[in-house]
Structure 1
Amino acid sequence: MIDLSDVLDARARVEETDRRTPLDYSHTFSDMTGAEVHLKLETFQRTGSFKIRGATNRIATLSDEEKAAGVVTASAGNHAQGVALAATKSGVDSTIVMPENAPISKIKATRDYGATVVLHGDDYDEASEKAHEIEREEGRTYVHAFDDEMVMAGQGTIGLEIVEDLPELDTVVVPIGGGGLIAGVATAIKQQKPEARIVGVQADGASSAAQSLRKGEVHTLASVDTIADGIATRSVGGKTFEVIDERVDEVVTVSDSEIAVAVTHLLERAKTLVEGAGAVPLAALLSDAIEYDEDEVIVPVLSGGNIDMNTLTTVVMRGLVETGRYVKIRTVLKDRPGALDDLIDVISEQRANIYGIQHDRTSRDIAMNAAEVELDLETRGPDHVETLLSALREEGFDVEVLA
């Protein structure tokens, strides 16, 4: 099992490649939670993610023969970019296998950093099988995304920075996919501040670590389903599980809706773009998945910001729905002149903004003399939505909320 000395050694290897990222006190999220919240912004790391740290440390420890043969790995995107850049800077050839549905932005970035990209499989696990096949056929060294001591140690350099910048910390909240990040961070922090609390967070649809801890052994999920593609792994690693079991105090899960709300708040209030995987620590705080005391000093590790723009649109819209900033409603009107005007008048009086409207007389689900209307509305919050719906119903409109 890795220890603090491994992380300290890793720092010397990665400091010329990675960046020391900011630890930013957030007035907004401190006010929202009652805690003292400091955001560890790995979103500002090179390649947009913490993964460059572990990849650099692993490649720096290869033998000359291994470097000459090249490296291969599998990744949903962030580890791919980290390995690609670290390998290119070291003069090492790299092949990266990515799932076929990996975000386009991450595929392009990985190629731009100098790697050969192979698209294969529906998720990380299927991509990993292909990468191991290439490893055997071409004699390359497989750089594991998380279940490797040198990768864990590299990620642990984040923990060193947190302790140095905020020695009074109480709790550090870390995303968990395969477990490499939290294993490294927990090692760096617990062996300097044993009283500090380390909390891991997973998406509900990819909760392998949480289930593994309950079972007392590594548990592999049949499938994963979450907007947080960076932590969408079916299983934690065997090596990372040992560290998590010993050094992590608690693992909680959050829903995709809660992740979307966190991404939206970070964009709007902190002016920070964070991908789903990177937003799960804040999602856990905002949704009260974690218990904490008032004024507790908490550090959510925002692990990356590489979100695909198409995904971002969906996530932000989901966040707006969940926070009452956007609502989609359906009602049925008499098919007569002025009926639609009456509906719009009520909406206007309640100061809601019509984003989109669909008027359909041909639906089979309504009477011949009626028209179905769906409206997308911009609103100001949950209370405003309830006021709007009450006003519509008081005027005799039978309203169904669709989203």
Structure 2
Amino acid sequence: MDVPEGVAVTFEEVSAASFRIREGINRTPCDRSHMSALTGMEIFFKKEYQQFTGSFKERGARNTFMLLTQEQRRAGVIAASAGNHALSLAYHGRDLNVPVTVIMPLTAPLMKVSLCRHYEANVIQRGNDFGEAKAYAMAMSEEKGLQYINGYDDVPILAGQGTMGLEIIEQVPDLDAIVIPVGGGGLLAGTALAIKSLKPHVQVISVESDKCPSWQAAMDAGHPVATPVGPTLADGLAVPTVGYNAFKTAQKLVDKHIVISEDKIALAILRLIEMEKAVVEGAGATALAALLGGDLDELKGKKVVVPLCGGNIDTTVLGRCLERGLAADGRLIKFVVRVDDRPNGVAELTRIIGGLGVSIKDIFHERAWVRSDIFNVDIKCVCETRDFAHSNELRLALEKSYPNRVDWSSQIHT
């Protein structure tokens, strides 16, 4: 099967996009992070979640609209998206008086569906996933004569995303490295091109979740290939096949690529809320996750920019992320302990836990499936501690009081 060659975006296209969209896009801050001392690096966060619709996607959307012909503007545009791309098109389409139709899968978060309708887009929900939604959108594009806008591979989209890189160069002119999350590759391609064109010595590092390592697969194959996608906290990066134009543009500009675990992403979301007072979605926190997880220790002592590229996290997902982050941070600990099912048996366990200043979040008695002494009971506990050291203190105390009767197998290890 022939593989599309792809078209590399030029620096001139990124520069022109910067001028073209300057009146319609927020110039987001790039501030030094409180986490600099924690990591041993001088970290600067490019806060793209402060765009009006909450993500960097507005840059490419605005640039694309500005390049449409009058005939295309009158007919309108169409796209498939479960989130940020749809929101950006809907908002800027309304602002520029271009009709927008977005095909969103049935699994799209209700909040994002409602916001797209609020921005006066024609929202149609079809398909169980992005692939099915895209197929429907492409067919409707042909049938209705609407311009289809690919959210991570159209050249105007890539050029628009690259304007973030130009702003970063102005805001942190002496940066040493930038760490960029990658899904379809649009942000990576545009930003890497902008930065490498002006500062060739700056190290460009890409990061993705191990639940959808499509960029790694593309690098291994030498071209984009279909990659299985699993459920991920970084749903904005869950693109099974990276963009051909994006890959062509960025392939030789990326100095290092990292694939990280979901627990590291959850921990990064937690750290951002606690230390930066920033609510960022999984895709937006993925680059930081690589720094916090020790995957880039060679950057210690360097100036590093990290784009926090989106803040549209579903509220129910946020709660789950925080709990998983606490577990990954050693502050939520889960265990099962077998105790004497007689008076004071459970009381003694809680006395040990409380005496260490540990808080019991949940406790459950299991009797029916205990296969040992009929007078034993399994106590399942979820406890909150200060940190890993506090958790280890609890672990040692329980192992001493209940030798060979404590099961820690459900713990998260990062």
Fold match, TM over 0.5?
A: yes
TM-score scaled by structure 1? 0.96
1:197-216, aligned counterparts within 5 Å? 197-216=203-222
TM-score, length-scaled by structure 2:
0.94
104, 115, 125: which one pairs with 2:121? 115
Is residue 144 of structure 2 the alignment partner of residue 138 of structure 1? yes
In the alignment, structure 1 residue 292 sits paired with structure 2 residue 332 = no
Q: CA deviation at 1:64?
A: 1.0
Quick check: 49-58 or 246-255, which moved more? Answer: 246-255
Q: What is aligned with 2:185?
A: 179
How far does the alpha carbon of each residue in 1:262-297 deviate from its partner, in whole angstroms, 9 at most, with x for none?
111011111111100000110111112235343211
Shift of 1:366: 5.4
Contact in 1 for aligned 2:212/2:228 (Cα 8 Å): no
The aligned residue for residue 5 of structure 2 is: none
Query: Which letter maps to 2:152?
Result: F
- Deviation, 1:222, is 3.1
> 3-state DSSP class of the match of 2:184?
coil
- Match for 1:229 among 223, 231, 235? 235
Is the 1:254–1:284 contact (alpha carbons within 8 Å) kept by the matching residues of 2?
yes
Segments of 5+ residues of structure 2 without an aligned counterpart are 1-7
Give the drift of 1:117. Answer: 1.8
Larger mean CA deviation between 314-323 and 91-100 belongs to: 91-100
Amino-acid identity (%): 37
Amino acid at match of 1:324: G
Is 1:381 paired with 2:387? yes
Cα distance, 1:395 vs. partner? 1.1
Q: Does the residue aligned with 1:174 lie in a helix, a strand or coil?
A: strand
Instruction: Give matches, 1:344-359, under 5 Å.
Output: 344-359=350-365
What does residue range 91-102 of structure 1 map to in structure 2 within 5 Å?
A: 91-102=97-108
Matches within 5 A, 1:59-208: 59-208=65-214
| Equivalent residues of 2:217, 2:227 under 8 A apart | no
How far apart are residue 357 of structure 1 and its match? 1.4
Tell me the distance in 1 between the aligned counterparts of 2:299 and 2:370. Answer: 55
Root-mean-square deviation (Å) = 1.4
- What amino acid is the match of 1:396? Y
Deviation string for 1:125-168 (max 9, x for gaps)?
22211111111121111011111110011111100100011110
Distance 2:81 2:102 in 1: 7
SS at 1:151 equivalent: helix
3-state SS in 2 of match to 1:247: coil
1:220 correspondence with 2:213: no
Matched, 1:21 2:21: no
1:41 to 38, 47, 61: 47
The question of 1:3 aligning with 2:10 is answered: yes
Whole-Å Cα distance in 1 between the matches of residues 336 and 120 of structure 2? 50
Amino acid across the alignment from 1:168: D
Rounded to whole Å, the distance in 1 between the matches of 2:373 and 2:158 is 64
Name 2:250's counterpart in structure 1: 244
1:379: Cα distance to partner? 0.5
User: Is 2:310 the partner of 1:304?
Assistant: yes
Determine helix, strand or coil for the equivalent of 1:205.
Answer: coil
Within 5 A, what are the aligned runs for 1:276-287? 276-287=282-293
Contact preservation (8 Å) 2:370, 2:376: no
Which residue identity is paired with 1:388? L
Distance 1:355 1:117, change over 3 A: same
Alpha-carbon deviations, 1:64-97, whole Å to 9, x = none? Answer: 1111111110112011100111111111111111
| 1:400 and 2:407 aligned | yes
- Equivalent AA in structure 1 for residue 345 of structure 2: A
Residues 366 and 372, structure 1, Cα contact 8 Å, conserved in 2? no
Q: 2:332 aligns with which of 326, 330, 342?
A: 326
Deviation per CA, 1:183-238, whole angstroms, max 9, x where unpaired? Answer: 11111111111111111111111111112112211121133432100000101111
How many residue pairs get matched? 402
Q: CA deviation at 1:112?
A: 1.6
Supply the distance in 2 between the matched residues of 1:144 and 1:167 (Cα, whole angstroms): 32
Per-residue CA deviations over 1:20-65 (Å, capped at 9, x if unaligned) read: 0010101x32112211111111111110000011011101111111
When residues 268 and 366 of structure 1 are mapped into structure 2, their CA distance, relative to the original with a 3 A threshold, is farther
Query: Any unmatched runs of 5+ in structure 1?
Result: none
Distance (whole Å) between structure 2 residues aligned to residue 230 and residue 263 of structure 1 = 14
